[in-house]
């Protein structure tokens, strides 16, 4: 359970899986879509998702080579929970930010 | 979005929130319930959840003092997605483990 959650309960994995909900994306497209992720972190995240059988990686022998990423059937079964988590985060962002400010202010020396 | 997911998209937060679904728990009960978490990591996780307004911390002036943790109303709204993610992880654990073995075997030198 813990090892599984290490991957799916990771902010980058959640954001990458969320971006792939509408279909195949290239590495560069994913990199632009997932704000704030470095190329290296995106590579590592995609490798983990591929290793877990959640994402496929397809290399097209063009010049330059094109690399496509897509959710597998297993990855798609995870989509509902991931999208729900993303919606929750968007809906409650302001509320959480307010809580954080209040918490930090109460503890300021 | 990213800052919010840093907290809720964290394996320990997910496990702690899941454990609090049935009501209040003491620190020691949570520590036993969340397998593999250290006392320090549990303390840090609970502090973050409290800061985000997802968990309340109640200190009872007994000897020794008793500290209770419970989900707030906001924390409860997160529960469905978190429980869904947990169920998914449990249901697909074997499948993912198989994928990992196959992936690693294919890349062994």
Question: What digits encode the pLDDT tens for the residues A47-97?
Answer: 999 999 999 999 999 988 899 999 999 999 888 888 888 888 888 888 988
Answer whether B59's CB lies under 8 Å from B67's CB. yes
Secondary structure of residue B63 in the 3-state scheme? coil
Question: How close B72 comes to chain A (CA, Å)?
Answer: 12
Answer whether A45's CB lies under 8 Å from A12's CB. yes
In the A/B pair of chains, how many CB contacts fall below 8 A?
A: 119
Alpha helices per DSSP H over A1-109: 2-8, 11-19, 27-33, 39-51, 73-106
B 38-97 residues with CB below 8 A of A?
Answer: 50-53, 74, 77-78, 80-82, 84-86, 88-90, 92-93, 95-96
> What are the structural domains of chain B?
2-106 (1.10.10.10)
* ipTM confidence: 0.76
Neighboring chain A residues of B9 at a CB cutoff of 8 Å: 9-11, 13-14, 85
B93 and A8 in contact by Cβ < 8 A? no
Question: What digits encode the pLDDT tens for the residues B21-64?
Answer: 989 999 999 999 998 999 999 999 999 999 999 999 999 999 88
Question: What digits encode the pLDDT tens for the residues B62-98?
Answer: 988 899 999 999 999 888 888 888 888 888 888 988 9
A84 and B89 in contact by Cβ < 8 A? no
**B44 is written with which tokens?**
């840090």
Neighboring chain B residues of A33 at a CB cutoff of 8 Å: none
Whether residue A28 has pLDDT greater than 90? yes
The overall longest dimension of chain B from CA atoms, in Å, is: 61
Question: How close A89 comes to chain B (CA, Å)?
Answer: 6
Answer whether A96's CB lies under 8 Å from B50's CB. no
pLDDT given for residue B23 in this prediction: 93
Question: How close B89 comes to chain A (CA, Å)?
Answer: 6
């Amino acid at each position: 359970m813990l090892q599984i959650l290490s991957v799916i309960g990771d902010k980058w994995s959640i954001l990458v899986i969320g971006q792939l909900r509408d279909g195949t994306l290239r590495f560069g497209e994913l990199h632009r879509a997932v704000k704030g992720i470095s190329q290296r972190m995106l590579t590592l995240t995609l490798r983990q998702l591929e290793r877990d059988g959640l994402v496929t990686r397809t290399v097209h022998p063009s010049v330059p080579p094109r690399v496509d990423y897509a959710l597998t059937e297993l990855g798609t079964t995870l989509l509902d929970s991931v999208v729900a988590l993303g919606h929750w985060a968007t809906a409650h962002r302001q509320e959480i930010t307010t809580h954080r400010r209040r918490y930090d202010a109460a503890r300021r020396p």
